[in-house]
C-alpha cells in the first residue's frame, strides 16, 4: 500500500481546519472564513454518537418509517372546517416535498364516513344495470387481469376553496394541499366493462363505495372507456386504507370526489343518478344564483411551495424557488414565475418527468439580497390554457363557489424572510 504524499496530507489538514472554521457558514468560500478566527464547528471536529455506537438492526422496523428528525412533515387538518373528523379532510405538506411523487403516507385524506377497514378476501366488486352479463369480481379475479401503471394527480375540487373571498389560510399546505400525485397500479375499467358487456343505451355509470357513507357518483361512459383505472396499488404498495384499500377508482384529470374509494359496485344506466354529491354538493354556485353541475375537469394550476408561509426564506444570497403545476386537460407545457407581483415574468425550469395529467416540478435558481418579494406562478398546458389570476376568475365565477379555484396564488416575502398569503388588488 502506498503512503499519501505529504502535500496531500497537508492539503487535507488545511481543508479540515477551514471547514471547522466555516461551521454552518452557508455557501461562503472557506478561504474567506479561515482568516476570521471563527471557532471550529463541533459537527465536524467532534465524534458524534452515530459514529460511535451501533445502529438498529435490519429487523427493528420491518416496514420503514421516516427519520424522527422529519416528524413535522405530516398531514394536518383544520379542525374548525368540519363538524367531525370522520367527515373531514387533512392536507398534504406540499412545502416539505420535492420531485413529483407524493409519499403514500402523506397523501391528503377526504372522507365522508371515516376510513373503511375492509378484509380484501371478503371484498367484492359488482357490475350490474344496463349490461349483458352482471358480474361479481373478487380481488383475486382482478389481480389476475392485465394491469397497467400510471402516474396521475388527484385534486379535491375544493382545493383552495377557502380562498374565493380572499387570502384566508397562511400555509401552502392548507391553501393547496388537497392534492397528491402517485403511481397507480390496476386494471382499466374498460377491461372490466368489456367482460360485462355494456348495452347500447348505457351512457352513465354509478360508482359506489363500501364505506359507511355509501359514497356514490355518476360517471359518463365515454370517460370510463377512455382512461379510467380500477387501482389496487399505489407507489408500488397496496393502497393504504385511507386511500381506498383494497380497491378504488382513478379518474385522471377529474375532480377527486369522483375517485370513489373502497369501490364495491358499478351500475350502468342511461342518465346520471343525481346523487347527493352531485346536487347539493360539488356544484358551482354562480353570481346569478344558478349552479353549475358536472364540472369534472380540474383546470391548469400551479403553486410555489418554497418559499411559502411554512417554508420561509432563511438565507440571503443563493436560493432555490420551487413549486408544482398540473392540468386535468393533459400535459403542462410551461410554468412562468414572477417575483415582483406580475410586472416581470420568467420561464421556470421544469425538471423530472412530464406526463399526461400528472404534476410537474419547476425551479427558479435566484439570488436574494433581502428585498421584499411578491411571488406568483402560472401554468400553461398543452391546450394553450393559461392559469388565470384570481381577479379574472372572479369576473366569471363570482365569490359564492367553493370548488374549482385555480387562480394564481401570491406569497409576500418580507425582508426578514417571513412569508405570508396575500392578494394583489
Written as tens digits, the pLDDT of the chain (425 aa) is 333 443 443 343 333 444 433 333 445 555 444 455 678 999 999 999 999 999 999 999 999 999 999 999 999 998 888 889 888 999 999 999 999 999 999 999 999 999 999 999 999 999 999 999 999 999 999 999 999 999 999 999 999 999 999 999 999 999 999 999 999 999 999 999 999 999 999 999 999 999 999 999 999 999 999 999 999 999 999 999 999 999 999 999 999 999 999 999 999 999 999 999 999 889 999 999 999 999 999 999 999 999 999 999 999 999 999 999 999 999 999 999 999 999 999 999 999 999 999 999 999 999 999 999 999 999 999 999 999 999 999 999 999 999 999 999 999 999 999 999 999 87
Task: Name which of 164, 173, 182 is nearest 90 in CA terms.
Answer: 173
The CA distance from 189 to 187, in Å, is 6
Amino acid at each position: 500500500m502506498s503512503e499519501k504524499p505529504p502535500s496531500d496530507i497537508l492539503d487535507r489538514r488545511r481543508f479540515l481546519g477551514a471547514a471547522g472554521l466555516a461551521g454552518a457558514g452557508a455557501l461562503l468560500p472557506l478561504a474567506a472564513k479561515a482568516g476570521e478566527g471563527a471557532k471550529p464547528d463541533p459537527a465536524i471536529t467532534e465524534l458524534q454518537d452515530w459514529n460511535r455506537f451501533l445502529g438498529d438492526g435490519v429487523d427493528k422496523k420491518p416496514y420503514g418509517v421516516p427519520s424522527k428528525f422529519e416528524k413535522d412533515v405530516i398531514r394536518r387538518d383544520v379542525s374548525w372546517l368540519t363538524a367531525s373528523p370522520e367527515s373531514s379532510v387533512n392536507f398534504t405538506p406540499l412545502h416539505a416535498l420535492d420531485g413529483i411523487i407524493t409519499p403514500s403516507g402523506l397523501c391528503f385524506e377526504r372522507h365522508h364516513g371515516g376510513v373503511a377497514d375492509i378484509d380484501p378476501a371478503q371484498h367484492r366488486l359488482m357490475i350490474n344495470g344496463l349490461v349483458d352479463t352482471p358480474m361479481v369480481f373478487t380481488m383475486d379475479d382482478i389481480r389476475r387481469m392485465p394491469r397497467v401503471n400510471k402516474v396521475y394527480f388527484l385534486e379535491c375540487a375544493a382545493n383552495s376553496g377557502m380562498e374565493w373571498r380572499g387570502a384566508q389560510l397562511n400555509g401552502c399546505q392548507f391553501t393547496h394541499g388537497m392534492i397528491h400525485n402517485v403511481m397507480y397500479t390496476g386494471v382499466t375499467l374498460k377491461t372490466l366493462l368489456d367482460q360485462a358487456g355494456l348495452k347500447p343505451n348505457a351512457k352513465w355509470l354509478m360508482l359506489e363505495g363500501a364505506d359507511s357513507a355509501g359514497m356514490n357518483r355518476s360517471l359518463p361512459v365515454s370517460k370510463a372507456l377512455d382512461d379510467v383505472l380500477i387501482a389496487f396499488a399505489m407507489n408500488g404498495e397496496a393502497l393504504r386504507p385511507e386511500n381506498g384499500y383494497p380497491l378504488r377508482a382513478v379518474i385522471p384529470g377529474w375532480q377527486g370526489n369522483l375517485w370513489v374509494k373502497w369501490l364495491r359496485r358499478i351500475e350502468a344506466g342511461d342518465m346520471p343518478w343525481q346523487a347527493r354529491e352531485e346536487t347539493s354538493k360539488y356544484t358551482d354556485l354562480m353570481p346569478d344564483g344558478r349552479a353549475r353541475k358536472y364540472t369534472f375537469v380540474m383546470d391548469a394550476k400551479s403553486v410555489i411551495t418554497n418559499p411559502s408561509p411554512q417554508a420561509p426564506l432563511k438565507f440571503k444570497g443563493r436560493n432555490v424557488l420551487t413549486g408544482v403545476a398540473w392540468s386535468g386537460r393533459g400535459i403542462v407545457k410551461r410554468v412562468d414565475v414572477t417575483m415582483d407581483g406580475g410586472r416581470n415574468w420568467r420561464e421556470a425550469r421544469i425538471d423530472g418527468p412530464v406526463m399526461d395529467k400528472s404534476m410537474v416540478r419547476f425551479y427558479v435558481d435566484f439570488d436574494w439580497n433581502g428585498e421584499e418579494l411578491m411571488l406568483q406562478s402560472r401554468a400553461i398546458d398543452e391546450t394553450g390554457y393559461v392559469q388565470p389570476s384570481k381577479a379574472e376568475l372572479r369576473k366569471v365565477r363570482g365569490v359564492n363557489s367553493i370548488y374549482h379555484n385555480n387562480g394564481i396564488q401570491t406569497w409576500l416575502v418580507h425582508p426578514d424572510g417571513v412569508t405570508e398569503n396575500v392578494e394583489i388588488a
